[in-house]
Amino acid sequence: MKDFPSCFGENGVQVADSSSSSANRSAQNVVTCVYQCRVGGSSCLITVTWSKNLMGQGLGVAIDDSSSQSLCKVDIKPWGFSKRRGCKSLEFRSCGVDVYWDLSSAKFGSSPEPLGGFYVAAVVDGHMVLLLGDLKREAFKKTNASPLPHNAFLIAKKEHVFGKKLYGTRAVFCDNGQIHDIVIECDTASVSDPSLVIRIDSKTVMQVNRLRWKFRGNHTILVDGLAVEVFWDVHNWLFGTSLGNAVFMFRTSLSALDKLLARQPSSDLPWSFSERFPETKLQGPGFSLNLYAWKSQ
């Protein structure tokens, strides 16, 4: 988690590393996902990194302790001319960890993260602690592992997105929730006073006008019955160089729900809030999506 920006404050956000604006696009084409799991009876973080460059796709899996100190790691180099399936054994706190992957039939879009046709699995002492992808049956057959229900939670995702005025990605805001299409729209080239619009599943959930005065800020929206805090910093888009990026964070938390309820009477909330989304859905570690939006030349 130490690679994720910690600078999102109560009143806005700041770009974590201004030097990143000089990086080339291939170095930015990375998606990082952090999962909270239990290994050997204790909590840990498993970080899965998807990358893409001129050599092809790449994959990295690292297991960290609670202090974010990397204890074991496997890097699968870009596989333009290499095998796309395999297994590697690691050791974590005296436990044997086997990482399996099969991306031989993986389907990709513009993102380094595959859309389907793959699996990535982490097995500890014969138990499946993390399983990604849609080839779940093939993964269990290959690993002979037994499932551990509700063991892994996606708690953070960091992604670079590119566009001219539209920036899109997909995200799941709660465990076993539905996949949502997120689109950020902002035209800073052809209008003198641009606005910022965020849509989820084609529905506008927030709009910021007079963006030159409100280039940093935060707002709370409701998604799947969960309160989601949205932070934005588009300073580089408006006042920086052409290589600058904007930063967005979408974060679920109980504190965000408290803010939303305090700001909005219960009678104004969707009628199905308490019926369709029980309180148990708000429990757990929460989720944070960090987007770095780069303008295409």
| Beta-carbon-side half-sphere exposure of residue 10 (alpha carbons within 13 Å) | 2
The residue with greater pLDDT, 82 or 277, is 82
- pLDDT of 250 over the 80 cut: yes
Task: Determine how many CB atoms are found less than 10 A away from the CB of residue 271.
Answer: 8
- Kindly state the helix (H) or strand (E) to which residue 239 belongs, with its residue range: helix 235-239
d(CA 141, CA 20): 42
d(CA 99, CA 119): 11
Do 234 and 186 form a contact (C-beta atoms < 8 A)? yes
Write the pLDDT tens digit of every residue in 2-46.
444 433 333 333 333 333 433 445 456 889 999 988 776 777 888
DSSP state letter for 186: -
The gap from C-alpha 155 to its chain's centroid, in whole angstroms, comes to 8
For residue 15, the model assigns a pLDDT of 31
Do 102 and 135 form a contact (C-beta atoms < 8 A)? yes
What's the 3-state SS for 256-275? HHHHHHHHCCHHHCCCCHHH
Instruction: Please state the rounded mean pLDDT for residues 140-153.
Output: 84
Write the pLDDT tens digit of every residue in 120-146.
999 988 889 999 999 999 999 999 998
Query: 170 to each of 74, 120, 123, 173, 208, how far by Cα in Å?
Result: 26, 19, 27, 10, 21
Query: 145 to each of 95, 97, 131, how far by Cα in Å?
Result: 15, 12, 11
Name the residue ranges covered by the structural domains of the chain: 18-151, 161-295
- pLDDT of 76 over the 90 cut: no
Write the pLDDT tens digit of every residue in 257-281.
455 445 544 434 333 333 333 343 4
Beta strands 127-133 and 146-147: pairing type? parallel
Do 230 and 182 form a contact (C-beta atoms < 8 A)? no
pTM of the full structure = 0.77
- pLDDT of 176 over the 80 cut: no
Mean pLDDT computed over every residue of the chain: 76
For residue 185, the model assigns a pLDDT of 96
- pLDDT of 58 over the 50 cut: yes
| Residue 296 three-state SS | coil
Backbone angles phi, psi at 85, to 5 degrees: -135, 155
- pLDDT of 201 over the 80 cut: yes
Task: With cut-offs at 50, 70 and 90, classify the pLDDT of residue 186.
Answer: very high
